Amino acid sequence: VLIAYGVSAGLGQLGLNGQLLTPEAGSRCRLAAITTGAPVVHGHPVDYGIELICDTCQLCVRRCPVGAIPMLRREHRGVVKAKIKTERCFPTVAQAHGCAVCMKVCPVQRYGLPAVDRHFAQTGEILGKGTDELEGFAWPLDGRFYGAGRKPRIQPGFVNPPGWHFDKDRTVPPADAELAASTFGDGPGTAAPAVHP
């Protein structure tokens, strides 16, 4: 929820992967909020050129093992963004050790925005795109490494495992009782991840 505040304060911009891409640390940052009555100077949104980089890059879109990231932005609840298909992403995160392939393959995360910008200005290309160094990832479910252009085979039902409860429209958070009754994965008693709008 803090990403929107980060964007509004000019800490970075929203990447196609749904993460706050900061110039200094890419998406490798954690946001925290404090409340205060102190007089503060408000930040403001800053255009770091991330959208052009993202539109040219599209690596998170291509490398997400379950195709959870759309390539185009559209308005969703007043925000124009590439709306992550959470009904695909959440089960994957839960089953694949947090997944985070979309973070791993992001050049802004990997090399930092200045280096990506420099390379883009000089070549019109995305730094690292097409290389195993950037695009490659180890997939925890089979222990194999998938280099550029290769992705793990996703079994049918992987993103819709037995007991998975998902409020597709996410208009109403599931009642506590529903959450308690839900199970995730194939082991009895595994708690369902909480889903909130």
Which amino acid type is present at position 171? T
CA distance linking residue 66 with residue 92, whole number of Å: 8
CA distance linking residue 90 with residue 136, whole number of Å: 21
Minimum distance from residue 108 beta carbon to ligand SF4 (Å): 5
CA distance linking residue 60 with residue 70, whole number of Å: 9
**Closest residue (Cβ) to ligand SF4?**
15
Cβ closest to ligand SF4, residue 62 vs residue 165: 62
Position 68 contacts ligand SF4 (CB under 6 A):
yes
Binding test (CB under 6 A) with ligand SF4, winner from 105, 113, 127, 192: 105
Q: 97 in helix, strand or coil? A: coil
> What mask of x and - would describe binding to ligand SF4 in positions 20 to 59, judged by CB under 6 A?
---------------------------------xx--xxx
CA distance linking residue 59 with residue 64, whole number of Å: 8
Q: Do residues 52 and 7 lie in contact, with contact meaning Cβ atoms separated by under 8 Å? A: no
Q: Which residues of this protein are in contact with ligand SF4, per CB under 6 A? A: 15-17, 53-54, 57-60, 64, 66, 68-69, 84, 89, 92-93, 99-102, 105-108
